[in-house]
Amino acid sequence: MRKQVSIECTGLYKSFGPKTALRDVSFQATGAQAIGLLGQNGAGKSTLLNILAGIILPDKGEALINGQSMTEAPVTTKENVGYLSETAPLYDEMTVKEYVRFLIALNRVKKADRQRHYDNLIDLCNLGDAQNRLCGNLSHGFRQRVALCGALCGKPDVLLLDEPTTGLDPSQLIDFRRLIDTLSQSHIIILSSHTLSLIESLCSRVILLNEGHKVLDRSLKQNNGLRQYLVKLNTIDRVALPILRQLPSVKRVTTLPQEGGKGCWLVESDMGDKFPHELFAALSARHIALLTLTPMRQSLEDVYLAHLAGGKQP
């Protein structure tokens, strides 16, 4: 049985000369999931991934993978981490087969298991036809695929993917999505990307960095899970507002301009499923007609822009 995978980052700081790339970044993740890492260029995404991969060391703070510290036991901790760099560096003079076999051996897979592991990886990454091609002759899409295959060598529990879809054509992108979707069932995947639609479709959680600060860390399911409702009632603000506000699942109510004498409100609920039931019960008890109840979907783009404009969130 596969062990429970986890990442725990506590108070990570990293500076490069006068520039502080990460400031007090903490988060944790337990169990298989895909986490989207968002932020503008220079926000600290690659630095965070490099620290988690053990490529650079933090100035302060600690990164634990499956409970092991990347600072204190880097070699054993790295056995649990696969890292795909943005530029997908490969040894151009090696064939795909040589490259993947080299990484399998480098990741200390037992000799008896190597051939099976190699076959599985080649199947998973759909590289069967490219095995004997030189890495230096591969197209960008294939290079990304080979680099991802390399990141999976050694059966890591955690996959760190730094802008892995840059330059992929649509069909390669579809393949890549499928692959990540499959892998997210058994791995913690941290996926850094500027493509919000990719994050939205693949990830269950998103972390947003801005100027080295973590400004957002929330579940995307929750975000897309009907947290905002447009409510239209056959009554006026003075009557409806107290009713809406006293519902336990309601967090905030914003009064919108009236439409033809009918009141309109935007309701934010932190218990999305309960709110409609509570609303129906409250309205029927007061004989108020519910004209419209529309769940509002806040896109990741809205969230992204709102938080970047808003700056740091405690």
- Which residues here bind another protein, judged by CB under 8 A? 16, 21, 47, 53-57, 59, 74-76, 78-79, 81-83, 85, 87, 89-94, 102-103, 105-108, 150, 154
DSSP category for residue 157: S
Rounded to whole angstroms, the Cα distance separating 6 from 68 reads 10
Please identify which residue in the block is written with the tokens 């903490």.
26
Does the CA dihedral 241-247-253-259 come out positive or negative?
negative
Phi first, then psi: give them for residue 22, nearest 5 degrees.
-135, 135
| Minimum distance of another protein from residue 156's CB (angstroms) | 10
| Minimum distance of another protein from residue 48's CB (angstroms) | 13
Query: Based on CB atoms, which residue is closest to another protein, 103 or 180?
Result: 103
| Minimum distance of another protein from residue 165's CB (angstroms) | 18
Cα-based distances in Å from 24 to 58, 132, 288, 314: 11, 46, 50, 11
Query: Based on CB atoms, which residue is closest to another protein, 93 or 169?
Result: 93
| Minimum distance of another protein from residue 79's CB (angstroms) | 5
| Minimum distance of another protein from residue 42's CB (angstroms) | 11
Sheet-wide strand order for 19-30: 19-30, 6-16, 60-65, 68-69
Query: Based on CB atoms, which residue is closest to another protein, 76 or 298?
Result: 76
Rounded to whole angstroms, the Cα distance separating 70 from 302 reads 35
Cα-based distances in Å from 296 to 19, 224, 264, 299: 40, 9, 13, 9
Query: Based on CB atoms, which residue is closest to another protein, 52 or 264?
Result: 52
Query: Based on CB atoms, which residue is closest to another protein, 33 or 47?
Result: 47
